[in-house]
Amino acid sequence: MPIFEVFRQEKKGQAFQHAGSVDAPDAEFAETWAREQYGRRGESEALWLVPREAVHEVIDFPDEFDLKYRRVDGYSLKARLSVARERAAARTR
């Protein structure tokens, strides 16, 4: 039986998140069934149903040379800030 991935929006404005999957022969059955499995308690604002084969997984993100400059942890301002403050203080004396 084909598999449909279910994405769920809990409240308006929130992102859709993956919630699970259903075995269903086609989109119509998937809708009827996912609606109850992921919405019978009014817990979902909306659902997206996607055939599993339409989902492409991407899992490999090489960063061999540690390109830290693009991230917040690539910056340590402490030492320079310390020097700059000292110099500013020295100028005003």
Partner 1 sequence: MREREQLLALADDELVIGWRDSEWTGIAPTLEEDVAFSSIAQNEIGHARAVYELLAEDADALAFDRAPEEYRCSPLVELRLLDWAHTIARRYLYEQTDRERIERLMQSDDPVVAGIARKIDREEAYHRMHAELWAERLRDEPRFTQALEELRPYVDGDRATRTPEFAELWDEMTCVRRSAPGAEW
Partner 2 sequence: MTEAEFIDYLHAGGQVETGDWMPDEYRARLVKFIQMHGSSELMGVLPEREWILRAPTLQRKLALTAKVQDEAGHAQLIYRVVEDLGKPREQCLQELVDGKAKFHNVFHYPTKTWGDVGVIAWLVDAAAIISQKALLKCSYAPYARIMKKICWEESFHILHGRDVVLAMINGTDAQRELVQEALDRWWGPLMQFHGTKIEPENDPMLHWRIKSQGNEEARQQFLEGYAPQIWEIGLTVPDPKLHRSDDGVWEYTEPDWDELKSVVTGHGPRSADRLAFRRRFLEQERWVRELVQAA
Which residues of the shown chain bind partner 1 in the complex (CB under 8 A)?
Answer: 1, 22-24, 28-29, 32-33, 35-37, 40
Using CB under 8 A as the binding rule, whether residue 19 contacts partner 2 is answered as yes
11, 20, 38, 75, 78 from 8: Cα distances, Å: 9, 9, 8, 37, 44
Q: Which of 23, 32, 55, 85 binds partner 2 (CB under 8 A)?
A: 23
Kind of pairing between the strands at 17-23 and 3-9: antiparallel
Smallest distance, partner 1 to C-beta of residue 10, A: 19
Between CA 67 and CA 69 the distance in angstroms is: 6
Q: Which of 13, 53, 56, 57 binds partner 2 (CB under 8 A)?
A: 57
